[in-house]
Amino acid sequence: MKTFFLVSSRFHPFILGAVFLTSLCMFWPSSAAAHRVSVFAWIEGDTVYTRSKFSGGKRVKDGDVLVYDLNENHLLSGKTDELGEFSYKIPRKTGMKIVIKAGSGHRGEWSIPLHEVEGLSGPEATSIQPQEAASTTPGEAAALSRIDLDELRRVIEESVDSKLKPVLKILIDTQEAGPSFRDILGGIGYIFGLMGLAAYIHFRRKVSEAEKEKAGSSIHAK
């Protein structure tokens, strides 16, 4: 044991580092994400649903949700429930900024642009002329035009919403994937790069100081 330490005495900082990083990696499977809070929001019908999570996956319980319009006017507030969710009916057709505050200085936000809100069905739905009217009998044409086109639009939206729900869930999950191994290697790479740069500058300074001393002492000798 002693000889091992004596032999590797030159590399102690690196041994310390290796022990460190290995033990840190051992904790890896338990949680692999940095600590920030994020909120995800989507619209279904006339309601905005939000879900807030810490980046490790934990839901934000009893967090403060604040909704602003695009001019920073406060629209409404609420609290997240046990599942980190909070929903509200759209107050008016405007882009929205949703902010989650999870205490201790944690804050995240999500923006809903105006065009997402504008694209919803409403009384201003444009009327579409039924194109089959010319080829059908007068009785059927009347029945066709009696179909409420707004109703049709609403039905389509509902089915699109339900089809999109699993897709949105996939999106939320990928967004919360947390820092990848690549990010970590990148960060550590930068640290050692900076170390190399600092060591090089220090070395150059030492060399030039040594040269100055040599020049100084040789002048004295003369």
Binding interface with another protein (CB under 8 A): 5, 9, 12-17, 19-21, 24, 27, 30-37, 54, 56, 58, 60-62, 99, 101-109, 178-179, 183-184, 186-188, 190-192, 194-195, 198-199, 202
Classify 100 as helix, strand or coil: strand
Largest alpha-carbon pair distance within the chain? 121
Residue 210 structure tokens: 């040594």
Identify which of residues 106 and 153 has a Cβ nearer to another protein in the complex. Answer: 106
Identify which of residues 66 and 90 has a Cβ nearer to another protein in the complex. Answer: 66
Count CB atoms within 10 A of the CB of residue 60. Answer: 27
**CA-CA distance, 171 to 153, in Å (whole number)?**
26
Q: One-letter amino acid identity for 67?
A: V
- Minimum CB separation of residue 152 from another protein in Å reads 43
- Minimum CB separation of residue 203 from another protein in Å reads 9
Identify which of residues 15 and 172 has a Cβ nearer to another protein in the complex. Answer: 15
Classify 70 as helix, strand or coil: coil
- Minimum CB separation of residue 199 from another protein in Å reads 5
Classify 96 as helix, strand or coil: strand
**Within 13 Å, how many C-alpha atoms sit on residue 159's CB side?**
5
- Minimum CB separation of residue 116 from another protein in Å reads 22
Nearest to 102 by CA among 4, 200, 49, 36: 36
Identify which of residues 36 and 154 has a Cβ nearer to another protein in the complex. Answer: 36
- Minimum CB separation of residue 26 from another protein in Å reads 10
Identify which of residues 85 and 150 has a Cβ nearer to another protein in the complex. Answer: 85
